[in-house]
Amino acid sequence: MSKENKRLRAVSPARLVILAVMLIITVLSYVFYEPLFSTDPAVNWFLDPSTMVDGDPATATPGTDSLFFDKLIMLVPTLIKCIQSVTVLLLIVTIASLIIRKSFGKTHRGLTISSLICNLLNWVTALILIIIVLSAFGVDTTALITGAGVLTLIVGLGMQSLIADIVAGLFIVFENEFNVGDYITVGDFHGEVIGIGIRTTKVRSFGDVKIFNNSDLRGVINHDTELSYAHTFIDVEYGARLPETEKIIRKHLSKLKVEHAVGEVTYDGVTSLGASGVTLRFSCSCKEADIFAAGRELNAAVKNMFDENGIGIPFPQIVVHKQ
């Protein structure tokens, strides 16, 4: 399985480190809840009791003699509350992602569905985090959400291509057209699907990754629905009698070993009559991911069989006549 597929099944190490740090901060914030969040200046670490006006605790400040630094220090409890909410949300999402990936298993279909769900989950999480942080700083999120709904409707009318990409991505997954790990051909680009998102699909070929908008994926050829075939074409000399040559081939054909083949090698017969030889074709079934390796192995196996049985392979020659 490709490295990309393995990555899809694992939570990012950076995300785990950040989550661990935030979890420690959250735990400590509950341990020291009173010194952090109490409105009593005598208990709160960030308030100076001597700054109270007329004995009112609500008027207490850090007392740094700088209004700027006072406001910065006063933001610390709010920031810690944000970290608490974000930590709980990220912990739930991380556990949910792990459960989703484990539940759908390691099959191409499972990786595809889990990748799409986790991708969608990350977008939803990002939106919720924005609302939580804004709410913690006193922003009226109800009015914001209402305004966002109207804005989304307006923007949606001008973002029809994005909506088309999202809808096309959902149909790709739920109609099981292809999955992560499948080999597909889109236009003139052939490669392995390494990711299907809600907007784009990534296809890798020989180290190059091409990103397609889901709505642009038309006329896709999925090579993994059935086994593929590796072929080799080899010429024999016109001087060799074809019936005898084919008899030798059929006798030794079952002995040919192609590591990446699924099943035995087959002899398909004469495909053409070339300028210097008769062209024969040999085939073997294999997985699409192994088609090049199987082709190379098939070439070597047929060449060795010809050499061992004295079957000549023609090559260009120049005849010089001296007078």
Q: Is residue 196 part of a domain?
A: yes
The pLDDT value recorded for residue 295 is 92
Q: Which residues have C-beta within 8 Å of that of residue 44, sequence separation ≥ 6?
A: 34, 35, 36, 37, 38, 60
Q: Encode pLDDT of 130-184 as tens digits.
A: 888 877 777 776 766 666 666 666 556 556 777 788 888 888 877 788 888 889 9
Would you say residue 28 lies in a domain?
Answer: yes
Under 8 Å between Cβ of 261 and 230:
yes
204 and 258 fall within a common domain = no
Whole-number Å distance between alpha carbons of 118 and 90: 13
Q: How far apart are CA 314 and CA 300, in angstroms?
A: 16
pLDDT value at residue 279: 92
Closest CA to 91 of 171, 174, 24: 24
Question: Is residue 147 in some structural domain?
Answer: no
| Statement to judge: residues 177 and 274 lie in one domain | no
Confidence label for 208 from pLDDT (cuts 50, 70 and 90): confident
257 plus 303 within the same structural domain = yes
Residue 129 sits in the same domain as residue 30: yes
Residues 218 and 267 in one domain: no
Task: Report the C-alpha gap between 212 and 32 in whole angstroms.
Answer: 51
Distance between CA atoms of 182 and 2, rounded to whole angstroms?
11
Same domain, residue pair 88 and 180: no
Give the tokens for residue 9: 């099944």
Based on the fold, state whether residues 174 and 294 are members of the same structural domain.
no
pLDDT at 13 over 90: no
Selection from 288, 122, 117 nearest residue 196 by Cα: 117
Does a structural domain hold residue 149?
no
In a domain, 150, yes or no: no
Q: Does residue 316 lie within any of the structural domains?
A: no
Pair (96, 170) in one structural domain: no
Q: What type of residue is 163? A: I
Task: Check residues 57 and 30 and name the one with the higher pLDDT.
Answer: 30
Task: Kindly state whether residue 151 falls inside one of the protein's structural domains.
Answer: no
> Domain ends where: 222, 237, 270?
222
Specify the pTM: 0.51
Cα–Cα nearest to 70, from 51, 43, 42: 51
Domain that holds residue 71: 3-107+115-137
Categorize the per-residue pLDDT at 100 as very low, low, confident or very high, splitting at 50, 70 and 90: confident
Last residue of a domain, one of 176, 207, 222: 222
Domain annotation covers residue 35? yes
**Where among 194, 222, 250 does a domain terminate?**
222
CB 209 within 8 A of CB 268: no
**DSSP, residue by residue, 82-141:** HHHHHHHHHHHHHHHHHHHHHHH-SSHHHHHHHHHHHHHHHHHHHHHHHHHHHHHTT--H
**Mean pLDDT of the residues in the chain:** 81
Q: Which two tokens stand for residue 207?
A: 């180290």
pLDDT(107) > 60: yes
9 and 124 both lie in a single domain: yes
Same domain, 256 and 302: yes
Q: Which DSSP helix (H) or strand (E) runs through 78?
A: helix 67-104
Q: Are residues 214 and 238 in the same domain?
A: no
Domain count, the chain: 3
Residue 302 CB burial class (10 angstroms; 0-12, 13-18, ≥19): buried
Written as six digits, the tokens of 274 are 């070339």
Q: Same domain, yes or no, for 234 and 211?
A: no
Report the alpha-carbon distance of residue 126 to residue 242 in Å, rounded. Answer: 70
Dist. CA 290–CA 230, nearest whole Å: 9
Two tokens at 38? 């109490």
Which ranges in the chain belong to alpha helices (H)?
A: 3-8, 13-31, 33-37, 67-104, 108-136, 141-157, 160-174, 242-252, 291-308
Contact assessment for residue 30 and residue 23, using Cβ atoms and an 8 Å cutoff: no
Region of poorest pLDDT, from 26-40, 99-113, 216-230, 254-268:
99-113
Mean pLDDT of the region 193-206: 87
pLDDT per residue as tens digits for the range 257-298: 899 898 889 999 999 988 888 999 999 999 888 889 999 999
Residue 1 pLDDT > 50: no
CATH code of 209's domain? 2.30.30.60
